[in-house]
Amino acid sequence: MVQPRFLSRLTLLAATAGLLTSCTGTRLALPGVRQPEQPPISDAAPGPSLQPSSSVIVDAVEKAGPAVVRIDTVKRTVNPLGGIFGRGPAIQQQQGQGSGFITRSDGVLLTNAHVVEGASEVSVTLPDGRSFTGKVLGADPLTDVAVVKVVASKLPVATLGDSNKVRPGEWAIAIGNPLGLDNTVTAGIISAIQRTNAVGEGQRVPYIQTDAAVNPGNSGGPLINDRGQVIGINTAIRQAPGAGLSFAIPINTARQIAAQILERGYASHPYIGVRLQALTPQLAKEINATTNECRLPEVNGVVVVEVMDNSPAARGGLKPCDLIEKVGDKAVKNASEVQLAVDRGKVGEPLTITVQRNGTRQNLTVRPAELPREG
């Protein structure tokens, strides 16, 4: 043990040297003792004091972010080998995760159909930490839109924008829970709109394309603009070495599907019952040279390959080899545009389809039927 007189002497010696050293090696200044100046690290003139900055992305995220949720799901499946020779449990559980966003303060939220598909349990967690049990009110696999309800009130809501006004080059901000990382924000631009061939031909969704980074777990989360308005639901990605693109369901499409689900529990899709083929001048030339059944103009377009028996198209007079030029008042150039134009019609109501048949233009009237639902 150090005696007090020795401690005082050590302190005096340290004062004579002009410093004390802490247990971490830091030099401690003593009162009245001048310390040597350290060499300057920089001789640049001091800059002006920083003012609070403003960012359109920060402002947009602050508006929409509180309404973006994490969705955790549990899917239970029967193991056919369960209990037999010890090959696993009879019931297997598969966990999944995605994103969503609240659109009504009483607990209605939107997400992707594939996020909640087959889920036995759905849990919804808000950014503030509150968690609720969710109930799937309905899901539409064709457009990949689902509606989930939680029992709550006065929840934060996301403002819905107008996806018809979206233009390439505008800001695109994605919020979600990619790879299990909650409340992640990524930003890019709108790369393209009306991408009907993003995930295959004949799609019913004119996707919004963006280069904002989207990963597994972002599915169902919102794509917002620089005003914090939701313009789409992130749903699909296309990756390649060194690059990646993502696609979102336009919010106007999602809004229509969600309204139908809230009203009746499912979405209704009109169909006419045809199989279509993209036509090119070269293909038309080959068809005209090899068969007498079709005489097609050597143009780019879409031609009827097959008409289903007893379908709306058959009853309306469509035939194989018809070149479809217009559906309603919309000119069409490919199968996806035909599909989208038919979708804009209504079940049971007359829809005019303009075709070119053997060099003659004809207007046919078709009454779309409701597309049969799976299950």
Catalytic residues: 114, 144, 219
* CA nearest neighbour of 195 among 246, 252, 255, 141: 246
The DSSP secondary-structure symbol of 151 reads S
Q: Is-contact 199 206, C-beta < 8 A? A: no
The H helix count followed by the E strand count for the chain is: 7, 22
The single-letter code of the amino acid at 197 is N
**Beta-carbon contacts of residue 317 (< 8 Å; ≥ 6 apart):** 364
Backbone torsions φ then ψ of 214, nearest 5 degrees: -130, 135
The per-residue DSSP string of 229-267 comes to: -EEEEEEEEEEETTEEEEEEEEHHHHHHHHHHHHHHSS-
SS3 316: helix
Give the separation between CA 334 and CA 91, rounded to whole angstroms: 46
Separation of first and last alpha carbons in the chain: 86
**Alpha helix positions (H), the chain:** 4-17, 56-64, 113-116, 251-264, 281-290, 312-316, 335-343
CA 258 vs CA 12, 85, 147, 241, 320: distances in Å: 81, 46, 6, 36, 35
Q: Is-contact 189 210, C-beta < 8 A? A: yes
The single-letter code of the amino acid at 54 is S
